[in-house]
Structure 1
């Protein structure tokens, strides 16, 4: 079979499909990618069809102060819809040249859904995060109607009668489990395959025997997270019974008692951790819970608030206010987090049972 994977130029969205693509290739299938050039070519290996010369949006260009509806409005008007319009011709060219049996479209690469529907091809949605599965706009009918209208205009421009472009009527691959995300509030067929985690955790030799507490906000939040990271260093300095490790991508922090690193082998470090403090990014949350590590989540923007809510509802961790948390608040949360280890262990067990990459590949094969 031939699979065309249509993705935005965002590493967090590409990551799970990288591992699924490797599994499909190992099973003898032909796999190609399609997305904005040259960005996607730097994120994937293998054949890449360009779809748009450059992305019409870069996360670092979005005003950091945007929250709530303002952030959602910016996301749709300045990213999702323009990206779909820009990518559609390239996706059509890729379908014509590669002749895929199945198209796999990330939720933020709606051009994949547009072209697959227009060409009558079976297609699957890649839901790299569980946020949309929970219908976050269900309680906000006016905003939901606004999003529906934006999609209607997009479909009309491209001659497609399909419903919601974020959810394939054939298959939605959810890289999470019900134990964490709950049941999807969708009519679409959702397969909970669990996170597509890297094979093998590797090793990390920095542990000193004390319980390890790791603080990371991801590489894209270095400037926005400077205050929180500094407060975290102060919090950990007041907990001499634990080993603190703060990921500081900018390299601006100084401490004699708390470990600092610009980058870490995250999976390997989480395998040794007792608590992870993070921003609620889906990959970070899943990698910590896959190791059975309870979380302290301080969401910054986008889907992170929903992920934090899911962690709390699953009794796998506690939540902090990112913009208000002081050292004392972070210290209290770190001290409380170990009590949520049983919840984190339940999520880990659900991830193992879901099947991960192999199950995702099997589900995709069923569409051919």
Structure 2
């Protein structure tokens, strides 16, 4: 049904609705640790344990813990605790089967929901229930679906899992830690529906949206929505990773992503198990890379670097994708790199000044003691 609703709150935020008229090549996209965690968990719901093992191997600062569902539980639920140096986020998925079946449309609908969230002026904990609204036609305009009918079918399929994602967690800084939710486990999006061609997704007012998603931002090419699943997943992770590779971008205008990481991102089989690693691992990685470079038309160029005569082990261990940024993308991340460098240089200068003052004070104290001892 077009107007199917799930636990809809009474009050929503009013806003003027427009089709996607932005002439920029990209969307602003939340790139905060907690929101990235939700995307990662939802994207790899089919085999979270394998994803977790690979992630911990490829990123030593990340730890994933899994909790078994309650004994006798009818639905195969999953609770995943995702920890990094500064965040600790626990995602609750009550029915893995639902997420698995709807995974294909859910990933892009969740991503577009976060894109729309970045446009909202959401306070830390809004007093009233608020919602995100956008035309269903956006999915057609962006090339995600060919018709309004197929877009509606996809949204209806993704609606139940989208509105059942639960979260809790903390974000740590130098002085203290802040809770993402007011009172433990909370549903991210309490309700969603389509009415008169307008999608409306409700935001839980007991979630600190600034902390959850709106701390940091990246930019997501609009082509993401028209790419195949593998290419889209690769591109999304490229823009997430770009903020962490600002030093490389500032120096070279590019950064590298290992094929091992791409194997993890694309949920490709283990190289020691598959009988046809060329077809099952190598081809999906190379095809995703080629599709991105073709669709981005020179703005982002992804070049595979590997030994064409090597085996699959060498391909994964030594091979990598060189991601080169141009035009608006290089300008955006180049400015971020410059800002980061200035902050680092400022902090280093401040530390040096403090150290110099400490040396001067120590020398003055020493001279004073020597002067007193001579008297």
TM-score normalized with structure 2 length: 0.30
Q: Which of structures 1 and 2 has the larger relative contact order (alpha carbons within 8 angstroms, sep 6+)?
A: 2
TM-score normalized with structure 1 length: 0.30
